[in-house]
Amino acid sequence: MDLFDFIKNTIQNNFKNELQNSINNSIENAVYFNIDVIRNYKNIYIISVGKASLSMYKALINTFEKYNLSFNKALVIYDINLKDQIKDLEILENNKKIELIESTHPLVSDNSFKAAKKIIDLALEFDNENSLFLFLISGGSSSMVEDSIIPPITLAEIYKILLQFDFSIYKLNTYRTFLSNIKGGKLLQYFNKSKIISLIISDVPFNSIDTIGSGLTAFYKKLSYQEMNQLISELSQYLKILIDSRILLNIINKNKEIEKIMENKLDYLKGNLHNFVLLDNFESIYLLYNQMKNLKEYYKLNVKNKDFEIEIVSTHINLDIINLTNFFKSFIFTKLKEYLKRDIKDKIKVYLFGGETYLKVLKNGYGGRLQHLVLYLIKELYYLLINQFNIDELKNKVDILFFSLATDGKDGNTDKAGVILPIFEFFNKDISKIEKYLDNFNSGIFFDNPKNNKYLINLPYGLINLNEIYGIIFDFKKY
C-alpha cells in the first residue's frame, strides 16, 4: 500500500465509521445531559430535517430506547435522493408515530412548502405547557422546509440564481431569511407554551445557529431599516426578472408582521428555547487526525520506516475558491522552500484544514466546487513551480498529495465526496485541457474519465453534514 492508497483508504473506511459513531455518541450525550428535562414532559414531538435527518433520527430513537423514553409523533424530512436508504433503516418502517416526508436539495420545491406546513400544523395543534418539541437540524434544511409569500416555482428560480454567485454561506442565508416566513427563527412565531430543544449538526464555519439550516429555531433577530433597504437594493439588482416592486413590498410587509409577533415572545423564548450544536468541523477534522495517527505506525512498519507527522492547521477557513487556492499554493510553495533549505528533514508530513469554500458558477456544467478546487490548484501550482524549480529534480526529492472532501458525501451535482491526487502526476498532463474543463465547470466529467476516476473519494451521502476537509501531504525524501 503506497501513501496514496493509505490516505484514501483511511478516509473511505476508518473515517467513515468514526463519523457514524460521532453522531450516535453526540446524540446520546445530548439526551443524557437533558434527560431530566425530557422526562418532565408528557408529550414529545420530534422534527428531524436536513441532509443527516435519517441518521440523526435513528441515533435519537436508539438513545430513547436505551433510556426508556417515548414520544408521540415524529416528522422526518429527508432529501428525496436518500429514498433508497429508507429500507435500510428498520426503525423507520411500520411505525404509525413516524411520518416520512420527502423533500429536495439544493432548490426548494412544492415538497419544501408541504414539509413546512406539516411542522406548522404540528406546532399549532400540540403547542402547550406539557409539550416538548425536539428538533434535529442539519445542513440542507434551508431548502427542505420553506414557507414564503413567493410561490415555490419562483422561489426555486431565485435560489438557483443566488447559488450561482460566489456568496459566502452567511450572505446567502441573509437573503434566504429575508424571503422566508420561517427562517431566521421566524418558525417560532407558531409556538407560545412548549419547551423547544434543538440538537444541531453544524455545516458552517464558526457554527452560527442562525445560519445552519437558515436558523429554523434561532433566536429571532430584527432587521434594522438600513439592513432591510440594503437587502431590497441587492435583491432588486440580482433578481430583476423574478422580483418586482409589488412582490418586494409584500415581502417587507410580511417581515414587519412577523416582527410584531416575535416582539411579544422574547420572554417566553428566553426560558423555553435551547439550541445545542453537537458536532462541527473541528470534530470531523479531529476524527480524521486521530485515524491517521492511529494508523501511522502500521504505515511505518509495513510501508516506509520514516517519521510520520500530522498537524491540524485550521478548522474554519471561509474563502472563495480563488483565495483558497492562493492560500494552498503559497502554503505548498513555502514548505517546499523550507525543505530545500533543509529546515524540514525527511519525513511524511500531513497538514489538515477545514472550512467551506464557495464558487461563482458561470455555466451549467457537471462537477462540484471541491473537484473544481483541485483542478484549479493543479493549474496554479504548475505555472508557479515550473518557473521556480527544476520539476524533474523536485519530483525525485518530494511527493505531494492533495485532497478535498465534503463530509456530506456529495460534491456539487456529482455523487462523489471529493478527490485525492498526486500533484506531480498531473504535471505530466496537458494543462490546457484541464483549463477547458475548468472554463466549462466540468470538473466532474474530468474525474469520471476512466483514467482519472481512481482519484475520486466515496463517502455515503446523508451520513453526516459538517464542513469540508482539505489535506496536503508531503513525502519528503533524503537527498
214-244 pLDDT per residue, tens: 999 999 988 887 888 888 888 888 887 677 7
- The candidate with the shortest Cα–Cα distance to 105, out of 250, 228, 266, 213, is 213
The pLDDT tens digits for 125-137 are 999 999 999 999 9
User: Mean pLDDT, to the nearest integer, of 402-421?
Assistant: 95
Looking at per-residue pLDDT, the higher value among 355 and 232 belongs to 355
Please state, as a whole number, how many other Cβ atoms lie within 10 Å of the Cβ of residue 253. 11
User: Mean pLDDT, to the nearest integer, of 393-418?
Assistant: 95
Residue type, 32: Y
Which sign, positive or negative, has the C-alpha torsion 107, 201, 166, 415? Answer: negative
Q: Residue 88 burial by CB count (10 A; 0-12/13-18/19+): exposed, middle or buried?
A: exposed
**Per-residue cell: 231:** 437587502
Question: Under 8 Å CB-to-CB from 204, ≥6 apart: which residues?
Answer: 139, 169, 170, 211, 212, 356, 467
**Per-residue cell: 413:** 451535482
Nearest-Å Rg of the Cα atoms of the chain is 24
**Distance, CA of 145 to CA of 115 (rounded, Å):** 6
Looking at per-residue pLDDT, the higher value among 100 and 2 belongs to 100
CB 20 within 8 A of CB 462: no
User: Mean pLDDT, to the nearest integer, of 454-475?
Assistant: 94
**Distance, CA of 414 to CA of 151 (rounded, Å):** 28
**Distance, CA of 410 to CA of 387 (rounded, Å):** 36
User: What are the two backbone dihedrals, phi and then psi, of residue 262, each rounded to the nearest 5 degrees?
Assistant: -70, -25
The pLDDT tens digits for 154-206 are 999 998 888 888 888 888 899 999 999 999 999 999 999 999 999 999 998 88
Q: Residue 285 burial by CB count (10 A; 0-12/13-18/19+): exposed, middle or buried?
A: buried
Please state, as a whole number, how many other Cβ atoms lie within 10 Å of the Cβ of residue 66. 11
- Per-residue confidence band for 95, with pLDDT thresholds at 50, 70 and 90: confident
Please state, as a whole number, how many other Cβ atoms lie within 10 Å of the Cβ of residue 470. 27
What would you measure as the largest C-alpha separation in the chain, in angstroms?
Answer: 74
**Distance, CA of 191 to CA of 268 (rounded, Å):** 9
CB 271 within 8 A of CB 194: no
Mean predicted lDDT score pLDDT of the chain: 92
| pLDDT value for 94 | 55
- Per-residue confidence band for 375, with pLDDT thresholds at 50, 70 and 90: very high
